[in-house]
Structure 1
Amino acid sequence: MGRDEAPIGASKATVTAFRNKLERTATEGDIGITVVCNDAEMDEERDLADEVYGSGRDLPFDVTVQHELTTEELRALLESEAQFLHYIGHIDESGFKCVDGTLDATDLDSVGIEAFLLNACQSYQQGMALIEAGAIGGVVTLSDVINSGAVRVGKAMAQLLNRGFPLSAALNIARDRSIIGGQYTLVGDGTINIVQAESDVAVFFEIESEGNSFELTPRTYNSSSGGIGGLVIPRLSDQNETYLSSGALPSVTLTKTELERNLALENVPVYLDGQFTWSYEIDVSSL
């Protein structure tokens, strides 16, 4: 499939991806995450990703960081049974650029990785090839992306995936971190989680300040263990109602003290007056 057939601002689900998911067995042991940087100019994103995955989580992570791989080394990695590949480097229609040449994913008979982020220029075709060879879902680019924007999107994706957001939700939020966000799209099954959320849902807050009060709207995203039809109790202010997930829940108006208390409960992604941040980074006293 050519890049011209790629959906812009949407996802490209395939029957193959869902078949791949059904054929997978549950992985025992550590959560295998591999960060590969085949571009020295993007070492910043490699370092950020290495810091983020597994941070602050009481989970058995096995995070491996590699750089300047050869074609055979990258082939072996793609065929390994890691849960997630965060790839940083150069890709074009001929394949992954390695130190000794190019690896074309269409030449692979099988792929062991379950999901991936190919944070490189024009990675759509190679991502589709990974799905056809056995992967379940991934995030790819539709055209060239500038390094600074790619780093911002890559960092946000790593943070969100680490908090239990499924691929599709993580991408929807991370897109807004850069003007090039529209060049990223999802291929395969976007409901896959790399990490389980601390509950059955991953939570995102939208907050609008209104003088000395704040309107907070929670948005929930189902984890792979939760599924549509799960129940969530926001427990914001005196709110104790139970709602179906996922999607936007009813907004609540909070005082500054109530907002501070709720933001301190868990580190969740936040849009505060249209700006992306994390709850633990917000100094409520300065608002």
Structure 2
Amino acid sequence: MLEYILNDHIFVSYICPYLWFIGAAVVLFLEVILDIKAPYGRYNTTNGGIPVRLAWFIQELPSFVIPCYILYNNWSSITITKLIIISFFLIHYFQRVFIYPMLIRGGKHSSYLTTILAFIFCSLNAYSIAEELIVYHIYPNNYLFSLRFLIGTILFFTGFILNLQSDAILRNLRKDNSQRDYQIPRGGLFEYVSGANFLAESIEWTGYAICAGTLPAIAFSVFTWANTAFGRGIHHHKFYLEKFRDEYPKNRKAIIPFIL
């Protein structure tokens, strides 16, 4: 049994993805059904732990470093298709690791446990996605011209751009790092949903799952929808409704425009 678990191909291609599928179900139960909120950001009521900029950098760093390391170790055998697809992953996490934390204004601390768990998840997820894509997966020679690749690429960059826009809207609600009060975000996807940045990121990783076509990428997309979109998005919607009451736009949904 232990030999089976430690088999790299089995671990990367099956064990990690199915752990994320199970994790998605658990997260939906805890966050949506039981209404338990992860203690970071506005839900870290004690504001104890790691400063938000440092926490973001620490927990997201493996998602950039690990794929780069795997890419370096397999450079002699990498195909242009694999290089392009893994570069999408690296583009997202370069922005998330080296740019996004520096742009954060204000923001509460992240608890030590939340940061540690996020670091572990990002490490395993990045390893699973990059190792499967670069080492094990095989793409047809004309894959870059396939409909799957084109649709996935369009969705990925659409989500990426909308995510950047949503983050900028939220960031500009605060004039400086000392401002702590919350305001109603407006513009972009925020005109339709409270969790615009969460919806955008979920669209982004759905596009990547379609584009990459690997089980680890699909599992990550499913987990993102469960944890980030539905879990976090619904909590934010409730937060805004409770805080702003009649001021909050009546037609704005939580995470799915016009539906939920």
TM-score interval, smaller chain: 0.3 to 0.5
Higher relative contact order (CA 8 A, sep 6+): 2
Higher strand share: 1
Higher helix share: 2
Provide the TM-score with structure 2 as the length reference.
0.34
Provide the TM-score with structure 1 as the length reference.
0.32
